[in-house]
Structure 1
Amino acid sequence: METYHAGSRAVQDRVGVREFADHVGRIIGQGIKPVAAAFLEIQPMLILGAADPATGRVWASPLTGTPGFVRATGPHRISITGAPRPDDPLARALTEADDLPVGTIALDPRTRRRMRVDGRLRRTERGSVIDAERVFANCPKYIQRRESYETVADRAPARPRPGTELTPSQAGFIAAADTFFLATVHGHGADASHRGGNPGFVRVTSPRELVWPDYTGNAMFLSLGNLLADPRAGLLFLDWTTGTTLQLTGEARPEFDEDGERRVRFTLTGAVEIPAALPLRWSAPEYSPANPDPGH
């Protein structure tokens, strides 16, 4: 598999970082090293991004479990015990998958580390397995540190609240967010990534539109490159205290200013809010020192 496709190359060339991207791209591998396997086994949450084959819509979905529910079972494979919630927008696609392109990201707020695995997912008796095609870690930029979490065993998820535009409370939820996850697709693959910043870095410009800045990162431009080639995208916002999730699907398009600033404009076509969806309650955040002021 090529490290970069035409979409990523187009962004790299526009920004003038192709040579640096080639250097950084060496971190992408096919194998899961022991240190990566150890990282996966202590995570209580995995974010998975994919396109639903039935609808074509792209979603980002959270999976949670006792640490060890995600683990490497070989140098090119991870196994996941359990299944997504039955009311998750990707539930049917994931539970019926035989060869579904997926992107995953495990993010650990305690250490400001993250790991991404892209590959093909198929169901098993106990859950699912992903045959890894790309494995890599990212720098800790824009990850808010949260020292600890607890599992709230008696937390009961409420019924999903589907919609086609944001309610005022959902708009407020997004405006207060310091983190979200982004699912994108490309050709025959998928990817899941993280975006972070101080609260206010994502702006709700209308009930059907969001805008966020594209902060300087590792120069690979995997997500932006995907969006240039295929604008379908899925966003996941979560409340790190109450476990409420807000999943959005729609189209996202990168915008480039002459002064070098970049942003992404997202138009939503569907939304699903699930109060108390996740059993995890994290401690208060310590914002990343890399976060720019969202007002500038």
Structure 2
Amino acid sequence: MSPVQSSQVERQPGTPWHAGERLLQAHAGMEARLAEVGPRVVRDFMPEQHRDFFKQLPSIVIGAVAPDGRPWATVRAGAPGFMDSPDPRALDLAVIRDPADPAEAGLEDGNAIGLLGIEPATRRRNRMNGTVARTGAARFRVAVGQSFGNCPQYIQKRDFALVRDPATPTDVAPQVMSVLDERARKLIGASDSFFVASYADLASGERQVDVSHRGGKPGFVRVDADGGLTIPDFPGNTFYNTLGNLMVNPVAGLVFVNYPTGDLLQMTGRTEVITDSPEIARFERAQLLWRFMPETIVRRDRALPLRWDFIPGGASPQALATGSWG
């Protein structure tokens, strides 16, 4: 399937879906249904349960776009309550500036960003995108563009502990690489989840940024001989926000979290969505594949003041039902 060849894409009137999303929805046989369902489930405000949910979280996943157009995914943390929603169309975040985080350059006033609130212990997650309004050196507000919930599939249950003051940054300098080293390959090969940021520039002039969770059994992300990653896409809500963005703008930012240590492995690079390959049928439950070729990699040891412990018996049943590269 060929990507939509356009630097700016149209959003279908009366729906939240742009051309890249609709292309994959049609491939899945879901375009007509989602044209009807989309306006009901993707809102321009947060319902009360979402507003309460963000307030109780100790972390937030952020997708941002640097001035050079590179997307980055990151995770920021704070004591529960560091996020608050003063009204259904706004979310306030109290997070310190972190120049070591490559996503920081995309968190300036007026920037479009994506947010994912995820609570592994309960498998709840809610997504939102919008526009940044800086309200202080360590605070900003996000005006809601789109808000919607996600199903609990492929999320492993984990409990968190706060191990230092969130206002105290790590004392380890970031390490910048152009290729994955053995330590990075080992983390990716053992990971059961990661987060991905993507975006599309719409013909209306809006920038739509998304950040989402990807999960599976440990090793579901394959590190290939050329240093790229091959990733199966499993059944979900069929919105195709992430892969739809990649169809019109084939760049992404990934972040892998080392949950026991708080380390972050962030990378930005080029992508390709694969809709027709024998490998899709060989990987159980995979509907599509996509490849990611890292161009800039940043490792930040102990970047997060949080540690997560796996909850016994907390493996995702949906993830256990998927295949493996072996």
Instruction: Determine which of 70, 90, 101 is the counterpart of 1:57.
Output: 70
CA shift, 1:93, in A, is: 3.1
Q: Does 1:133 align with 2:139?
A: no
CA shift, 1:226, in A, is: 0.3
How many Å separate the matches in 2 of 1:51 and 1:294?
32
- Structure 1 length as normaliser, TM-score? 0.94
Q: Write the letter of the residue equivalent to 1:268.
A: P
Indicate the SS of the match to 1:3: coil
How many Å separate the matches in 2 of 1:206 and 1:271?
17
How many Å separate the matches in 1 of 2:154 and 2:243?
17
CA shift, 1:38, in A, is: 0.8
- Structural mapping, 1:62-101, within 5 Å: 62-94=75-107, 97-101=108-112
CA shift, 1:31, in A, is: 1.1
Cα distance change, pair 202–272 in 1 and its aligned pair in 2 (3 A) = same
CA contact (8 A) 2:235 2:287 kept: no
Indicate the SS of the match to 1:129: strand
- Structural mapping, 1:231-246, within 5 Å: 231-246=250-265
Instruction: Determine which of 252, 271, 295 is the counterpart of 1:269.
Output: 295
1:279 equivalent in structure 2: 305
- Structural mapping, 1:1-296, within 5 Å: 2-25=15-38, 26-53=40-67, 55-94=68-107, 97-125=108-136, 126-146=138-158, 148-153=159-164, 156-187=170-201, 188-206=207-225, 208-257=227-276, 261-285=287-311, 286-291=314-319, 292-295=322-325
Q: Write the letter of the residue equivalent to 1:290.
A: Q
How many Å separate the matches in 1 of 2:102 and 2:218?
26
CA contact (8 A) 2:197 2:212 kept: yes
CA shift, 1:61, in A, is: 1.3
CA shift, 1:13, in A, is: 1.0
User: Gaps spanning 5+ residues in structure 1: where?
Assistant: none
Q: Write the letter of the residue equivalent to 1:267.
A: M
How many Å separate the matches in 1 of 2:53 and 2:239?
23
User: Gaps spanning 5+ residues in structure 2: where?
Assistant: 1-10, 202-206
Cα distance change, pair 132–282 in 1 and its aligned pair in 2 (3 A) = same
The C-alpha deviation readout for 1:107-132, integer Å capped at 9, x for no partner, is 10011010111001121114111000
Deviates more, 1:15-24 or 1:187-196: 15-24
Cα distance change, pair 24–179 in 1 and its aligned pair in 2 (3 A) = farther
Cα distance change, pair 156–59 in 1 and its aligned pair in 2 (3 A) = closer
Quote the RMSD (CA, aligned, Å).
1.7
Indicate the SS of the match to 1:83: coil
CA contact (8 A) 2:66 2:103 kept: yes
The C-alpha deviation readout for 1:147-196, integer Å capped at 9, x for no partner, is x2111127944110101110011001001011100000011221111100
How many Å separate the matches in 2 of 1:130 and 1:58?
18
Cα distance change, pair 84–246 in 1 and its aligned pair in 2 (3 A) = farther
Q: Write the letter of the residue equivalent to 1:269.
A: E
How many Å separate the matches in 2 of 1:127 and 1:47?
16
Deviates more, 1:16-25 or 1:177-186: 16-25
CA contact (8 A) 2:82 2:93 kept: yes
Q: How high is the sequence identity, in percent, across the aligned residues?
A: 34
How many Å separate the matches in 1 of 2:225 and 2:81?
41
Q: Write the letter of the residue equivalent to 1:47.
A: V
How many Å separate the matches in 1 of 2:101 and 2:304?
12
Cα distance change, pair 104–87 in 1 and its aligned pair in 2 (3 A) = same
Cα distance change, pair 44–84 in 1 and its aligned pair in 2 (3 A) = farther
CA contact (8 A) 1:157 1:274 kept: no
- Structure 2 length as normaliser, TM-score? 0.85
Q: How many residues align?
A: 292
Indicate the SS of the match to 1:37: helix
2:6 equivalent in structure 1: none
How many Å separate the matches in 2 of 1:139 and 1:22?
19
Indicate the SS of the match to 2:318: coil
How many Å separate the matches in 1 of 2:184 and 2:35?
39
How many Å separate the matches in 2 of 1:193 and 1:19?
24
Q: Write the letter of the residue equivalent to 1:252.
A: T
